[in-house]
Amino acid sequence: MRRRLALLAMLAACGDDTHVEAEAGTSSVTTETTGSSTSTWTESSESTTSSTDSGSSSSSTGEVDDRGCDEMVLVPAGPFWMGCNEAVDSQCLADELPYHEVTLDAFEIDRCEVDVLHYEACMEAGICTYNGLIGNFVNCWLGTSSYDELPVNCVTWENAAAYCEWVGKRLPTEAEWEKAARGTDGRLYPWGDDTPTCDLAVMNDDEGISGCDEARPSPPGSKPAGASPYGAFDMAGNILEWVVDDYASDYYANSPLENPTGPTPAAGARKVARGGVFSDNIVSGMLRSSVRRAFDETNDATGFRCAGP
């Protein structure tokens, strides 16, 4: 209880932003995806940072943790290359094409994914709800105290949007998410073009159990060597993340070249999720920063992080 009270106090004060300097470059359900499927797990046993609360903390007292998960990272304004570059990537999917230049305004994004503890605080404040089977569905972590530090899952797109609004933020657009993940040089993964390993991402390394032999995701920020060019963690693997956009497979063919926000929202449209999940392996190609997935309901593979302003 003391931990949650401290957390609530910290979140209540999150509107007071302070900025600190950071060196640039710091580094089971089968669900329908965009041309492939992902089988989620079965449990087996350039920049500055903004020190507002990002929704993840390993501290038992609500204090700042050494991963910087209480911070947001700044993504500067300017162009980047979005989608899949067939000249260097042999795993491009149709909905990742064409490879195109997009210009975005500056924005901030949480360094880490939102964890169970922070989402529970929003529930205790009477703002957030939870559509998963709390404590009864082995693949949903909320309601299991030993998993408080894992990224929250089994949340709907609406749940995620409500949390972000509560902390004075919003869900990122798909374009914002991709720029925050890969920067401006067209790299395949947040860390560059090197082949994914468990030193860089929480994934299935094809040598045993998924989640780097843990059969589940890890606490946000557990793989700092795999950080994006702006210092955001876990943007490949660990857990998928909702973004604000509706999904359309041909959206890139006619999307705006400045600040795209997705196709016109339509009732019943699927929403985009980004980032890969800890059961993804190298062969699947689903850990790449350009991969798009789409869902029409909650699932046990998807969580979120927030953006602003």
* Residue 235 pLDDT: 98
Convert 216-245 to b/e letters by CB count within 10 Å (16 or more is b): bbbbbbbbeebbbbbbbbbbbbbbbbbbbb
CATH classification of the domain holding 51: 3.90.1580.10
* Residue 140 pLDDT: 84
CA distance 202 to 188: 16
* Residue 273 pLDDT: 97
* Residue 50 pLDDT: 55
Residue-number span of the structural domain to which 217 is assigned: 1-309
* Residue 195 pLDDT: 95
* Residue 65 pLDDT: 56
CA distance 299 to 309: 28
State which residues of the chain have pLDDT below 50: 1-6, 8-10, 12-48, 51, 57-64, 136-137
pTM flag (> 0.85): no
Q: Contact 232/111 with Cβ under 8 angstroms?
A: yes
* Residue 267 pLDDT: 84
* Residue 205 pLDDT: 83
Tokens representing 244? 């604000």
Q: What is the pLDDT of residues 201-228, one digit of tens each?
A: 999 987 778 999 998 999 999 999 999 9
CA distance 286 to 232: 18
Q: Contact 153/239 with Cβ under 8 angstroms?
A: yes
The domain total for the chain is 1
* Residue 74 pLDDT: 98
Q: What is the pLDDT of residues 114-165, one digit of tens each?
A: 999 999 999 999 999 987 665 544 578 887 778 899 999 999 999 999 999 9
